[in-house]
Amino acid sequence: MKKVVSLMAAFLIVAGTTAMAAEKHSHDSHDSHAAPAASKAQPKASKDKTPNPVKDEMVALNEAFKNLLDAILLNEPEKVELPFHNVHRYKEKTMAAAKKGEIKLPKNNDKFAEFEKLDEKFHHDLEGILAAADKKDMKALTAKTHKLFDACVECHSKFRNK
């Protein structure tokens, strides 16, 4: 039960951060009446002049995590994988933009190499979640999800939150 409560708390942190970013983005693009991107089934590219592949990936990740938490709470591991396909698609766009030097982190941009290492580890750990879901191993799925949420908080504290 303690792990479920911890997972829910971590989820609220991630969802809140993503919602705030989507709301800020909405205000930044002078379209305050638009729904935040996190509420849509398919994340849309940033509406401002400069695309932000990291933000787009985070919106897709937020949707996948909402689904992941639901799948854990409802004991439906077979529903975990599908939303993470979008995350992978957006990760590819993020990697391409990073190679071109088009990404600037809100905090500690001079430590971009560390960000890339954390991102690679994160996506490697994500594969473990998908494997646990495929095996219908709820204990491993819950533990790996908790670890992944911790990684979200760690990365955001280093590179996102000011």
- The C-alpha atoms of residue 68 and residue 115 are separated, in whole angstroms, by 24
Q: What sections of 74-137 are H helices per DSSP? A: 82-99, 112-134
Helices 53-73 & 2-28 angle (0-180, nearest 10): 150
CA-based R_g, the chain, Å = 16
Which pLDDT score is estimated for 47? Answer: 53
Tell me the average pLDDT of the chain. 79
Residue with structure tokens 């709470």?
A: 73
Which pLDDT score is estimated for 52? Answer: 86
Whether pTM > 0.85 for this model: the answer is: no
Rounding to the nearest 10 degrees, give the CA dihedral for residues 49, 31, 53, 72. Answer: 180
Helical (H) or strand (E) element with 37: none
> What number of residues does the chain have?
162
Tell me the pLDDT of the chain (162 aa) as tens digits. Answer: 555 445 444 444 544 544 444 444 434 433 333 333 333 444 454 455 567 899 999 999 999 999 999 999 999 999 999 999 999 999 999 999 999 999 999 999 999 999 999 999 999 999 999 999 999 999 999 999 999 999 999 999 999 976
CATH of the domain spanning 2-159: 1.20.120
Report the helix count and the strand count for the chain, using DSSP H and E. Answer: 5, 0
- The C-alpha atoms of residue 59 and residue 43 are separated, in whole angstroms, by 6
Helical (H) or strand (E) element with 73: helix 53-73
Nearest Cα to 65, choosing from 139, 152, 124, 136? 152
**What's the one-letter identity of residue 71?**
A
- The C-alpha atoms of residue 127 and residue 142 are separated, in whole angstroms, by 14
